[in-house]
Amino acid sequence: MKTEIKTNYNYQEVIYWLEQKGIELYGNQFKIIDTDYPIVYKLIAYFLKDEPSCFQYGINVNKGILLTGPIGCGKTSLMTLMKHLAPIGNKFSVKPCRDISFEFIQDGYQIIHKYSNGKLYQSEPRTYCFDDLGTENNLKYFGNECNVMAEILLSRYDLFISKKLLTHITTNLSATEIEKHYGNRVRSRLRELCNLIAFDNVAKDKRK
């Protein structure tokens, strides 16, 4: 028998609030569909630091979120909404991986430093959600090829160990594809760095 989760939050009210925020950001057609509730409940529990619910869901509040699922299932819009839901101390920025790769072409290796240790003249590292991991390409900077996101993720793993810095990621890559793109080291570090929350592989493309 499934035990009832004891929580101080009314998740239906939170979902209503998220839908209103979604309409504000994305237009009147925005809706959180019932079949996504299991995913959304886990994200709400995590970002509100609702520890009894997180415990029930097997989510570690001291790790980040790796949100996976097919193209168009709503990963980016959900993480953008969570940015608004998260309390002040847990705020984060959503950064598309493709944008980071374009910045790397422009500015080179200092970009790896920017997204791991923080801005060049700013000592405090920031919490990021790297959006759409796998859509960027390996890039050459003055002839040297660099897997930019692999380098950033490995640096952030070191900061997670030393400073408890959180990293969130969205991707439509499977674990095997992550290993193929970024190597076994990155795949195993991600396991330690993030809680995996996965949409069903047949989740509907909401853009259609």
CB 47 within 8 A of CB 54: no
The predicted pLDDT at position 193 comes to 97
pLDDT digits (tens, 9 = 90+) for 61-101: 999 999 999 998 899 999 999 999 998 878 899 999 999 98
pLDDT digits (tens, 9 = 90+) for 115-164: 987 554 455 668 999 999 998 866 555 555 678 899 999 999 999 999 89
The predicted pLDDT at position 64 comes to 97
The predicted pLDDT at position 138 comes to 60
Confidence of residue 1 (pLDDT cuts 50, 70, 90): very low
Q: Which domains does the chain have, with CATH numbers?
A: 61-198 (3.40.50.300)
- Reference 94, options 62, 59, 65; nearest CA is 65
Average pLDDT, the chain: 87
Confidence of residue 2 (pLDDT cuts 50, 70, 90): very low
Over 60: is that where the pLDDT of 188 sits? Answer: yes
Over 90: is that where the pLDDT of 203 sits? Answer: no
Distances (CA, A) of 77 to 18, 109, 178: 11, 29, 22
* Crossing angle of helices 175-182 and 184-193, rounded to 10°: 130
Over 50: is that where the pLDDT of 180 sits? Answer: yes
